[in-house]
Structure 1
Amino acid sequence: MSIVCLVGPSDSGKTTLAESLVDALGDYGRVATIKSIHHDIEIDTPGKDTYRHREAGADTVVGLTPSLSFQITPGGKEATGEQALLESTVDSLRAEGYEFVLIEGFHDAPYPKIEVGERADTEPPIVASGSLDSLDVEQLAASIADGTLFEGLE
């Protein structure tokens, strides 16, 4: 499984790059994404059944709709630790057979990074960098798919 973080300052184009890479990598295999969110959001609708199940104390709530499924489990970054939660999420995606995982954010994760714009505190390894306009999405996708983007890394 190939894993790469998309990092950079706010509004640098990370999400736009992620959208383009998801589309391009889809030609090579299954793609999953992970997004670091720095504030709590409500992903469930207060008063609706799944919300009520969660409020009643269910350890995990799974919702199955005609077109989507979702799982809500307590234990975000604060409870579990950011790196530990990222690792367990990556492990789950690996077990599910994804070929590619794009992680938006997590500039200090140990994974290879594509840096969009400049960020002074990005931890290595940085395998590509540039502005959103200067990064060739098709070339990046091909080099992620064939592993050449990661050559020389352990």
Structure 2
Amino acid sequence: MSQDSRLRVVCLAGPSDAGKTSLVQELIPELAADGRVATVKSIHHDIEIDTPGTDTHRHRSAGAETVVGVTPELTFDISTRGKRDPPEPTGDEPLLETDDPELRALSRTLERLADRGYDTVIVEGFAAAPLPTILVGDRDPEAVGGPVVGRGDDPIDDLLAAIRSLAGLAVPTGGRRSNKSGD
């Protein structure tokens, strides 16, 4: 039986070098006091995040769809299905109703983060996502897919209050996570 949990998600949208990453760095420690925080960063070009020749790179090159690396300090997973060919959502209904592959990839990522027990996710980029958005820099409110809940130059306490007041998205999680935050 599936149980819905509430996942607070906010996008930060703005042009390059507008200060989005700096704002993310400022928000994370404050929001972490409320519960688990994850971030999602939209990257518009291909990068190699795994060192060629390492065992994890060799696993992926051999055809593994997902490779998980566990070190003494970090756990990371690398999946071959990015924005161009995202996996389908696993819930009965997708978190974000969209035919756009980039937003489908974001939707699937948010589902995984909810399933892993995160309370808040800050999304840097994905301006077209129909999610609450903080505008950073010179960004037209009409150029984003979600409601504007703040601006990057607002006082940090106002932005935190706006994020904390978000009702959150109902995310089917297969009953593995309860709604600890009461949202």
- Give the equivalent residue in structure 2 for 1:128: 150
Gaps of 5+ in 2: 1-6, 87-100, 168-183
What's the offset of the Cα at 1:60?
1.6
- Change in 2 beyond 3 A, CA 1:143/1:122: closer
Deviates more, 1:35-44 or 1:92-101: 92-101
State the superposition RMSD in angstroms. Answer: 1.5
Residues 134-143 or 48-57, more deviating: 134-143
Give the Cα separation in 1 of the matches to 2:162 and 2:145.
21
CA contact (8 A) 1:112 1:125 kept: yes
Give the 3-state SS of the residue equivalent to 2:84 in structure 1.
helix
Deviations 1:89-148 (A, max 9, x none): 111111112110100001100000000112232233111124xxx322233223322438
The C-alpha deviation readout for 1:43-85, integer Å capped at 9, x for no partner, is 1001111111111112221100000011111111011211111
Q: How many Å separate the matches in 2 of 1:26 and 1:129?
A: 21
Change (3 A) 1:117 1:55: same
Tell me, yes or no, if the aligned pair for 2:150 and 2:162 is still in contact at 8 Å: no
CA contact (8 A) 2:149 2:162 kept: no
Percent identical among aligned pairs is 50
Partner of 1:152: none
Residue 147 (structure 1) aligned to one of 163, 166, 176:
166
Of 53, 66, 71, the residue aligned with 1:47 is 53
Secondary structure of the equivalent of 1:77? coil
Aligned residue-pair number: 145
CA–CA distance in 2 between the matches of 1:28 and 1:11?
28
Q: Deviations over 1:21-58 (max 9, x none)?
A: 11110111110100000001111001111111111112
Runs of 4+ aligned structure 1 residues displaced above 4 Å come to none
TM-score by length of 2: 0.75
Amino acid in the other structure paired with 2:156: V
1:24–1:138: 8 Å Cα contact kept in structure 2?
no
Q: What is residue 112 of structure 1 aligned with on the other side?
A: 132
